[in-house]
Chain A
Amino acid sequence: MKLHTLEAWSLRDLIRDGSVTSTDIVESFLDQIRARDAEIGAYITVCGEQALEAAKHSDERRREGRTLSDWDGIPAAIKDNISVKGVANTCGSHMLAQYHAPYDAHVVSLLKQAGMPILGKTNMDEFAMGSSTEFSALKTTRNPWDRQKVPGGSSGGSAAAVASHQAPWALGSDTGGSVREPAAFCGLVGIKPTYGRVSRRGLVAFASSLDQIGMLTHSVRDGAALLQLLAGHDELDSTSVRREVPSYESVLGAGASGLRVGLLGGASQQGLQPEIHEALEQAACFLADQGAEIQEHAFPLLDKAIETYYLVATAEASSNLARYDGVRYGLRVEGSDTGEMFRRTRSEGFGPEVKRRIMLGTYALSAGYYEAYYRKAQQVRTMIRDGFLELFEKVDVLLGPTTAASAFGFGEKPDPLQMYLTDIYTVPANLAGLPAIHVPVGLDHGGLPIGLQITASPFAETNALRSAAVLETFARNRGWNR
């Protein structure tokens, strides 16, 4: 049996009934990494020894009947902007290529407390800025479905690792779609929880008011399980919310009966790849057949989402990334005075996309431009959020595309604006802090995965997961098989 091809739930069942050990599982994934990763390039750091050590401890605990959780012994991969104590935390940048995190991110502590070994750290667009992982300064990650295609981004390494069975599941971060878009390109379930549902502490900030840690998994129930592990209040993250965490697993079989599902019309849907458009229509019919009530709504303000997103995100990024100045950690390029050291360090340490966004954000916050750009963007953001909240009085979830098309090829989007537009369906959830899930529903004519997105109101992950589970059935009926 090829352990590494199984979803996390199946591994959990096997480990539970004693047919395999955590060591077997971790070894199987490490073997797969050795076999595949030279070609895929998912990992920046593989923590082989530590993972095997953790697996050994897990097996001991299991023998002695003192397992830490249901997931004790099941490994995971972590995006390289989420701190793991003692392990490199490069953020895909030359700036932090030599930086090792001296502390665990809150989510990493939770995984460790659950007894889960960490396989390694995955590649990403530099500081999570990008939609294809082409902006990683450290390596190229290829789409396991077609190595000429990008894996999506910025959590491209995590997506490629799971899709090529080099990890049963992985953590990513989603600031404007960075979990959902690579999930879409790699045929995975990708969850972006409500802002504040999962602690950001230890996640290297790109845009603090938009960043949220998310999950890349083979199935909706794997996603629900990983979310269950990580959701909850962290008293050291002031933006994490003190609110009870419901049982996610228990809603997965609830079906679509009585569910109010909204579809958004309008101009934004026009550029869709025909197969995605077709899948969307079929999915709506399937949900209706299952007892859901389908409603159509217009939300014209969403046409402003991309501009709004790029103003807010770059403004925050320009401030968040200012600390990389060569003084305390990371890259330092010496200069004759501190000003020159700052300039040289930042000129050499950051790649072109990061520099572009820092300059955009600095501009948006500058005296004389703040009102016209940053403040205006915040106002539109509030209106978008209010618009969603109003919409969610009428519907439980929104069904729509995640991306306009399946994975594109390397170098296919040389124009930054074109690249930014790939986020058009994903950024609204970040602007409004909503939970959103990508579910794969099939393959296009080129054999690349396509899928759909479910969005729900704040903290209604249960509605999103319940709908995602129905979509998963829909996908199976269409012949989707991971």
Chain B
Amino acid sequence: MSETSAETKHPAHLHHHFVDSDQQFESSKMGMWIFLVTEILFFGGLFAAYIVYRAWYPELYLEASQELDAFWGAINTFVLIGSSLTVAMAIRSAQLNQIRGLIINLWITIGLACTFMVIKYFEYAEKLEKGIAPGIYYTYDGLEHEKANIFFSIYYMMTGLHGLHVIIGIGLMLWLVWKAKRGAYHSEYYTPVEITGLYWHLVDVIWIFLFPLLYLID
């Protein structure tokens, strides 16, 4: 408890129910970590479905994953890893009070995230064209396995949900840029940047699991 000085110097970013900035920062960070745990469990359900069906139809997975373009998948993996680096650099800039660097790094991250989504869009479009759609809309006849639609249902669920997280991440970072331009962040206060960064790393890590599990089966 910082004695009575708590009242005399009360920074603008500090909410009334926290004792000091440290406590606020630690709390926000812990909250984000716990939220990330829920995200992992959320995707965990899909991974469980993936594992169950892979155990039942291993040959289906071998066959169907040939339809996925490992080249563009790999490109996307690099794009996301790159964006994780730039988001980390954004946090570093904020710590060093380099607001311009913070904004530039955020823009690069947003750009990479958009690149990812564009590549994803072309992948989806190419498949849907062929009739590889989820569930009952599956009309492709290039695969012999009768359960082929289930593999692609799982594929669309996993990558779709991941894509949704990327879009949310883009939204969050646009908001960060907007706030940063208004001078909301500085070396004393950059909590939102830090926890958005944590979120972004998770989105990245999930993709790092999705890529080999879906694209690289053989």
Instruction: Indicate whether A and B interact.
Output: no
Residues on A facing B (Cβ under 8 Å): none
